[in-house]
Chains A and B, each alone.
Chain A
């Protein structure tokens, strides 16, 4: 028997073993109707936008840049973020070879959730979503609730109420005009379905406390940062102006209560093929109602992850993972293995950091499934290796306002 014949037989044999679950035609129909509605809305939105641009050009207005009216700016809210969060974990399902379970959110949910960026579990402020093969799901109450038939990295508002993602399913890249969806996760309600209007490859940076979603693009253009803001209340896009030229290729490092921070310093290694850089410091600013970036302070924080109670920030620095108080008065290095979390000449670490509670952080070196997970007490800096299977959900870098109940590091 030739290899061709063997292959035919092997494929037929594997296929014959699989019946698959019975189709749920009601769910398929419901999903199809949702897709149809979204397509129509997208077409209408695109048509309206095209008309507006033509009219705007005719009137001599700057196309694509709009002012936001004061009356349109909502009041911020960050309720419920002070409470401890239960970080869900994706663990192997021993009953199914190759399957996984989500544990820590209601009853165990049988699914595929390996954290390898193609199937990813996202968690922030008590809200968890799963992105998997073209669909984003709310993870709660022991089940997966489809939110949208989209795919892309997810960002959440600091209170965990809103989640947004780009649709990469059409082009397979983050370049060009892309649909973007914003959902209120708890109610599985679509807040907005719109299109990113960035000039270049887009990166979804986060959602501030005013419900404004920031999208940045800077690919292949060092020192140029194009930031667009979508206001979920007014449903308008605004180009953010007066954004300082960032260092290198850095983008937005984190989103704040009413704006964002941009990288102003970065760390690199000297090895030519290791082109990855890590932000070292940022310039925080607010974005006013006219879409202007108003610089406020330079801070020694890179890609900061802010604690649920708004008092602390943790980020990866060359010397390791560092926790600072929000007023920068205190600084504490976490006691993590240097070989995994400190920069070396040949390697730049990239920790995935997630606040488990107002006083503890989960730290994973790199994003590969199977990397060791550590739990660190941010008051003492001590860390323990969590000897358990699976991976925790990934975090979100949103930085809230205020400092209602600070918890300071002890040293």
Chain B
């Protein structure tokens, strides 16, 4: 069979790459589509991919590119986070971190981030890539990665603060 090592690669790395795709898209159906397409493109260039770099890094970059490209094409940004906004002055950073009670509270806020910010966070905090490695995957400068991640974290803090305030109010 043509490129049997490709099947081995898919079998070994499908689940972790699907999980990455899910975190990038926040949508299981979209993640499946993205990964299927990325794998097809990888198979189309398999000899070159194997020669040039680790296949997993190649697929990872295709996934990230696709998510960011969807954003560029005009997929409507998710405005939920900004629409909510903090109802009161944003508390100090320590207080905000205290407000992060439980992981489940964070995921909806991550989903509401713009695709670029979410991609930066997922690569930095899920894939544990350094800023320079994340920049290489995203095709951005290190400064841009830092800026997007910073904006994303600030949005998360504000979201947590708003949620905390609502809980107190309620």
1-33 of chain A: CB within 8 A of chain B: 1-4, 6-16, 18-25, 27-29, 31-33
Known: A3-B97, A10-B107. A21 touches B73 (CB 8 A): no
18 further A-B pairs in the complex, CB-CB below 8 A; given A7-B153, A169-B69:
A1-B100, A2-B97, A3-B97, A7-B125, A8-B126, A10-B107, A11-B122, A14-B22, A14-B23, A18-B28, A24-B36, A29-B6, A112-B30, A118-B75, A132-B30, A134-B33, A134-B37, A173-B72
Of chain A, the residue at the smallest CB distance from B28 is A18
User: Which one of A7, A29, A111 contacts B106 once the chains associate, using CB atoms below 8 Å?
Assistant: A7
* Residue among B39, B73, B96, B126 making CB contact with A168, cutoff 8 Å: B73
Cross-chain pairs A/B with CB under 8 angstroms, 6 sampled: A2-B97, A7-B125, A28-B39, A32-B40, A134-B33, A151-B73
Q: Is B15 an interface residue (CB 8 A)?
A: yes
Inter-chain contacts of B150 with A (CB < 8 A): none
Determine the chain A residues whose CB is within 8 A of the CB of B35 once the complex forms. 20
| Complex alpha-carbon distance, A151 and B34, angstroms | 13
Interface size on B, residues (CB 8 A): 55
The closest CB in chain A to the CB of B94 belongs to A2
Q: How far is the CB of A190 from chain B (nearest CB, A)?
A: 16
Which of the residues B33, B40, B126 comes within 8 Å of A133, measured between beta carbons? Answer: B33
**By the criterion CB–CB under 8 Å, are B97 and A28 in contact?**
no
Scan B19-35; emit 1 where CB is below 8 A from any A CB, else 0. Answer: 11011000111111111
Complex-state Cα separation, A119 to B23, whole angstroms: 19
A32 touches B43 (CB 8 A): yes
A272 adjacent to chain B (CB < 8 Å)? no
> Shortest beta-carbon distance, B61 to chain A, in Å?
14
B110–A11 contact, CB under 8 A?
yes
Q: With CB as the reference atom, state the residue of chain A lying closest to B96.
A: A3
Cβ-defined contact, A133 with B66, below 8 A: yes
**Is B151 an interface residue when CB atoms closer than 8 A count as contact?**
no
Our pick among A24, A98, A172 for the contact of B27 (Cβ within 8 Å) is: A98
Please give the residue numbers on chain A whose beta carbons come within 8 Å of chain B beta carbons, in ascending order: 1-4, 6-16, 18-25, 27-29, 31-36, 39, 98-99, 111-112, 116-119, 132-135, 149, 151, 168-169, 172-173
Q: Which residue of B lies closest to A37 (CB)?
A: B44
Residues of B within 8 A of A111 (CB): 29
Taking the closest CB of chain A, its distance from the CB of B83, in whole angstroms, is: 15
B33 close to A132 (CB less than 8 A): yes
If A117-B74, A149-B37 touch, whether A6 touches B100 (CB-CB below 8 Å) is yes
Given contacts A10-B104, A15-B19, contact A133 B30 (CB under 8 A): yes
The answer to whether A172 touches B107, judged by C-beta atoms less than 8 angstroms apart, is no
The reply to whether A32 and B42 form a contact with Cβ atoms under 8 Å apart is: yes
Q: Give A4 Cβ to nearest chain B Cβ, in Å.
A: 7
Closest to A29 in B: B43
How far does the Cβ of B62 sit from chain A's closest Cβ, in whole Å?
A: 10
Whose C-beta in chain A lies nearest to the C-beta of B153? A3
The A-contacting residues of B in range 69-94, CB under 8 angstroms, are: 69-70, 72-76
A119 proximity list for chain B (CB < 8 A) = 30
* A15 partner, pick from B22, B41, B100, beta carbons under 8 A: B22
Inter-subunit contact B125/A11 (CB<8 Å): yes
Instruction: Find out whether the CB atom of B14 lies under 8 angstroms from the CB atom of A23.
Output: yes
Find chain A residues with CB under 8 A from B11 CB: 23, 25
Asked whether, in the complex, the Cβ of B15 is within 8 Å of the Cβ of A27, the reply is no
Q: Does B134 sit within 8 A of A, measured CB to CB?
A: no
Nearest CB of A to B155, in Å:
11
Closest chain B residue to A168, Cβ basis: B73
User: How far apart are B112's CB and chain A's nearest CB, in angstroms?
Assistant: 13
Closest to B11 in A: A23
Closest beta carbon of chain B to A316's beta carbon, Å: 21
- Indicate if the CB atoms of B7 and A25 lie closer than 8 Å: yes
| Inter-chain contacts of B28 with A (CB < 8 A) | 18, 20
Chain B residue at smallest Cβ distance from A152 = B73
B157 near A: Cβ within 8 Å? yes
Q: CB-CB < 8 A to B51: which residues of A? A: none
How far, in whole Å, are A118 and B15 apart by their CA atoms in the complex?
A: 25
Which residues of chain A are within 8 angstroms of B76 by Cβ–Cβ distance? 116-118
| Residues from chain B with Cβ under 8 Å of A8 in the complex | 125-126
4 cross-chain pairs, A with B, having the tightest CB-CB distances, nearest first: A32-B43, A20-B18, A31-B40, A118-B75
Q: Give chain B nearest CB distance to A31 CB in angstroms.
A: 3
Contacts of B97 in A (CB 8 A): 1-3, 6
Known: A15-B20, A39-B44, A118-B73. A21 touches B37 (CB 8 A): no
- Which of A28, A119, A135 has the largest count of B CB atoms less than 10 A from its CB? A28
Instruction: Give A6 to B105 CA distance when docked, in angstroms.
Output: 10
With a cutoff of 8 Å between Cβ atoms, the chain B residues found around residue A173 in the complex are 72
Whether the pair B22, A7 counts as a contact (CB closer than 8 A) is: no
